[in-house]
Structure 1
């Protein structure tokens, strides 16, 4: 029979589940990650040092664990460091039958070998919601039979975790590379080294407190890492000596490196009110328990490069004229997506031109050129509707899929959050879409051109959504277009245009 374990939060909340992995009790900071894949990479990411990592995806371990084989530049092919750094793993359900061509062992076996415990069978959604609402929490995983009081809460913020995970001696990767890049290891992920070396750089990785001299490199890279950046004062002082000069060499920072560069230039970072860890995109950060400066705290000649679309915190900064920039998220994230890995190209192109004495284009301009789509609509030209008509899901019978009903109800909620008035036409009273208080106004009418035209005449919406009512709604939208009704009443089709629906 499987052994049980209990996750105890510092506010007294408990979650009981089944133990897997190592039979040991641990404590640390509870964080979560919303990625659907990438648990081998996440667990070996040094940024998760001393953290109890919660994965919100419902089934984990289904593709097993690959063999730790050497790949390019002598780096591990599948992992982000030489060992698991997370203190524990918290999941909803563990797959006991992994299936993948590269799998050599189960997640349970791997955790046992590494001495890391895991707990499954708890409500990870409830746990995640609590962390998001209540803020970052300390926690401890207590194995059944172990006195709870014997496992004290451990606050990792009181320790210099960077010092614990950083390498002790300098190490060179791709020694034949043409560009000399010095990397300050604050808890670096292997793929950051790989991204630099693959682009022709000779990468010298140095410890977190290694003295820096601009004569030793063509460009400086500051890595990710765990813990509070304020505890890395030695790193801050070293970086300041090569950054705060008249003509600095190019610098690129990621995650903790972004926070350290922010502190170097005189901005402030702060502990966020939640331990939010998400998949890498331009709008989010894989490891983000500390936020960097907002626009008002940036010094003169610095500008915001990225802003988080969800919480409006800073995700990147760039100097207006000097070759200095950093991002909070991970463009090199191994589990994907890789849409912004091109930031490494921008960095190394800048390094090369700076080395050659070609400073015709600033790094800020390079980033704008790389990140701006030539045909994109300007923000001020984006159409924002005042009132939107939604053609609903129509009749649903028992056993029939209700995805249009669900997605349509989510669309209504999203529109209301943007203060856009919603009008719904749906002939079926027994749907989520027609719930009281969801849409601003509901018409229980058939989805036919005649009835919809009458509603348009009465309500005068300036936008319509055709994709939340199945084929019936699409056919109705096509007919309204052919009849010229939408053009006559100046109703713009939102989302998928009519042409592909025909």
Structure 2
């Protein structure tokens, strides 16, 4: 008899059937959670985080929900603690709404890890009596839905087969009646009284409303609210299904609007569609709907583009909006209607979800607009919602500079062969030159490195093979007379050179425009003292720190902060002059090196052991802003990003954490006046949600090249176009060719970057890694699981590497091999996990023990342990005995044929003989 844990963790063969015009199509996989058969409508959603919020969103009622991101369940499911309003704090309704959840790979039972996690996803779905389906190729499934459109589907557990279970059309029934509240409820105690019609309302719509000075009365979908008196405004919520099924709500709304007293109305999603229909507008069913967290919507009045969360299968017909209604927002990709306002009455609505949860909070201000609109109309002011939204989105740049057409642009390239400035910036510079060439602009490249792609014939109009320093670049400017200079694609060397040219007046003397981010902003991000002041003025935090300008002052500062501390020099290349000091002697040694690079040293209280997370932010001169990629370091804070294994997207952040850090990244980029691209790095506490901003790179960094390749988004190319004054929404997505570049890529794969070191070539160089970059390159692996991408990347770091293999570390590891980061620590972890499986008495056995010593998040270590467990299973078979299921699993975890052939008992042939 199985234990409760075994029952919850078990996977049972199951089949997903989809009804097509030419019959049924079957997809095989495994069922987890509740073992039951269901039928409904199959849809896909592209968000990379937020599965808890999506599962409890009433708009997914009765649907079989496919999540395109392959790794689901990483951070578990939180408890049902209630918030100040009496709602479950981490959920959007009181139950799981979809009929089933379909994922590529559910996080193995017990491998989830998050400080808020109360239970694994398996248990949560089992208790909710909702089946999960895993092991299916969701990429192929999504492509199938995109081609065929939304279809009817059923999920059948082979152990509990019900052949007669019919396909059902969920849109033929009133889903709103199923999910709407059955009672009237009043919340809040504010001076503004709002009536909210619950058509399938998310809790966060109420949470955001209740943050204002309001009292909200929630009524059922068919409640005759037109008869109510004493209210100041009406809110129409989101909800599931066909708006045509809400005839009662539509009729009640018409009656409400016919009353002599006009009250403001705000509708979201289904509420938006009901408002349009009440004015005679038409709605229609989309082929496969818009469901995700990255839909770009353009405000009709200002042209500003907002990134929105969406979840709808129906839309308002742009050609039949309804009498008196005008478009407020349109979808930048497919041109569908995303918002309406009335030309003379205080009514407006949006198709997207400004309350987010899950998704970006960029349009939450619409709730502020609604409450202010209600207050204004209550006080006799007749301002229109369109005018209020227009005011919110109108951007006035702080400094209005007259633009001149660029004819010749000087590009500061990637620099000589020095760690931290060479090859990693070649990619960015080459993209920049390509963008300038497309615009017909003459280019002058300064780059002494003949071994780069960007110096190849045909990239630049003129290439100057001289060092990137103020003397040589001044001579180039004097001779070539460029009209503009771009300094953000050559790393720290190019940036420092441009700052010097700005400060000594060379750029002004020769009338050279700085294209992109202003030099003043760059100086603020590079000067540690100015940076700290700026961030604190925004209400954000950097680690407790002080500036020292002498050795004695550095000692005094460190002692006041308390050891250990981190020392960093301003304007330093690749972390040069930085390091962690555990005592006075180490401090003096590091400080002496730091002062050799700069006369200013920044000393931080150590955040060693916290998680490090990065965001790549793109912003244009008109304040359109997106985060193209977020990344998480496997190694905790204390290891330079260039020295760390990095994963994109982040794996251990929940939706609230992901979106909060995203919002802060955008706020910081806007405050500095970034034009183009920047990188922001955070330290995030693993035991609670607390974060500090480590630094901002107001240029394309080493991480930017990784982000470009990981997402397919040409960061440097786009940043160059933005530096020339173009608006981000006007630039086309280079992959699709017809959608906008003002979007945030939603990955359906995992990317892992592993550094490459050549420290063995230098006899006296320590193999210890830390805050100074020593790596000379990096390899990137892409896969549908972390294990696959991780092993692929490891194999590419050297000719002899076969993957995450225990034999890559020559001995049984000791505690120091884990506590002292080196270029071989990752293989020490492999050996330690392997030895722990074979020797129960090994004192360092298990992922939990290694986590204590390394500070690496337990989620990563458990998935590394999965690789070693698979390795151990392979060892028990010969080539001819190898089970097909185990071989399939090994390939999913990134084992190469060569790797498998080395592990199995006999090596006569390769893995292919199985």
TM-score band w.r.t. shorter chain? 0.7 to 0.9
What is residue 364 of structure 1 aligned with on the other side? Answer: 386
The offset of 1:242, in angstroms, is 1.5
Match status 1:51 vs 2:77? no
Match status 1:195 vs 2:208? yes
What is residue 171 of structure 1 aligned with on the other side? Answer: 185
Query: Residue 313 of structure 2 is aligned with which of 260, 283, 289?
Result: 289
Give, in whole Å, the separation in 2 of the partners of 1:383 and 1:16: 60
SS of residue paired to 1:24? coil
Give a deviation string over 1:165-201, Cα, whole Å, max 9, x none.
Answer: 1122322223x43332111111011121222233232
SS of residue paired to 2:250? helix
Give, in whole Å, the separation in 2 of the partners of 1:157 and 1:390: 57
Match status 1:75 vs 2:87? yes
Match status 1:112 vs 2:126? yes
The offset of 1:491, in angstroms, is 7.6
Give a deviation string over 1:413-434, Cα, whole Å, max 9, x none.
Answer: 9x69xx8679998989998x99
The answer on whether the counterparts of 1:307 and 1:314 sit within 8 Å (CA) in structure 2 is yes
Give a deviation string over 1:1-45, Cα, whole Å, max 9, x none.
Answer: 732333333345544333221112223222222333222111011
Give, in whole Å, the separation in 2 of the partners of 1:146 and 1:266: 48
The offset of 1:354, in angstroms, is 2.2
The offset of 1:477, in angstroms, is 6.8
What is residue 351 of structure 2 aligned with on the other side? Answer: 328
SS of residue paired to 1:85? coil
The answer on whether the counterparts of 1:387 and 1:420 sit within 8 Å (CA) in structure 2 is no
The offset of 1:225, in angstroms, is 0.3
SS of residue paired to 1:37? coil
What is residue 4 of structure 1 aligned with on the other side? Answer: 13
The answer on whether the counterparts of 1:44 and 1:85 sit within 8 Å (CA) in structure 2 is yes
Match status 1:60 vs 2:72? yes
Match status 1:304 vs 2:327? yes
What is residue 198 of structure 2 aligned with on the other side? Answer: 185
Give, in whole Å, the separation in 2 of the partners of 1:465 and 1:18: 53
Give, in whole Å, the separation in 2 of the partners of 1:339 and 1:276: 18
The offset of 1:75, in angstroms, is 1.9
The offset of 1:359, in angstroms, is 1.9
Give a deviation string over 1:469-496, Cα, whole Å, max 9, x none.
Answer: 5456657877998997999798873467
Q: How many residues align?
A: 492
Match status 1:87 vs 2:87? no
The offset of 1:116, in angstroms, is 0.9
SS of residue paired to 1:188? coil
The offset of 1:159, in angstroms, is 1.7
Alignment of 1:132-281 (within 5 A): 132-145=146-159, 149-174=163-188, 176-213=189-226, 215-216=228-229, 217-244=231-258, 247-279=261-293
Match status 1:341 vs 2:364? yes
The answer on whether the counterparts of 1:463 and 1:494 sit within 8 Å (CA) in structure 2 is no
The offset of 1:271, in angstroms, is 1.7
Tell me which moved more, 337-346 or 104-113.
337-346
The answer on whether the counterparts of 1:59 and 1:92 sit within 8 Å (CA) in structure 2 is yes
TM-score by length of 1: 0.80
Give, in whole Å, the separation in 2 of the partners of 1:32 and 1:407: 34
Give, in whole Å, the separation in 1 of the partners of 2:30 and 2:482: 53
The offset of 1:110, in angstroms, is 0.3
Distance change in 2, residues 1:153/1:429 (3 Å): farther
Distance change in 2, residues 1:360/1:160 (3 Å): closer
Unaligned runs of 5+ in 2: 1-9, 296-305, 527-914
Unaligned runs of 5+ in 1: none
Give a deviation string over 1:342-365, Cα, whole Å, max 9, x none.
Answer: 222221222233233x22422222
The offset of 1:64, in angstroms, is 1.6
TM-score by length of 2: 0.47
Give a deviation string over 1:24-77, Cα, whole Å, max 9, x none.
Answer: 222322222233322211101100011122223332222221221332232222
Give, in whole Å, the separation in 2 of the partners of 1:92 and 1:107: 14
Structure of higher CA gyration radius = 2
The answer on whether the counterparts of 1:392 and 1:424 sit within 8 Å (CA) in structure 2 is no
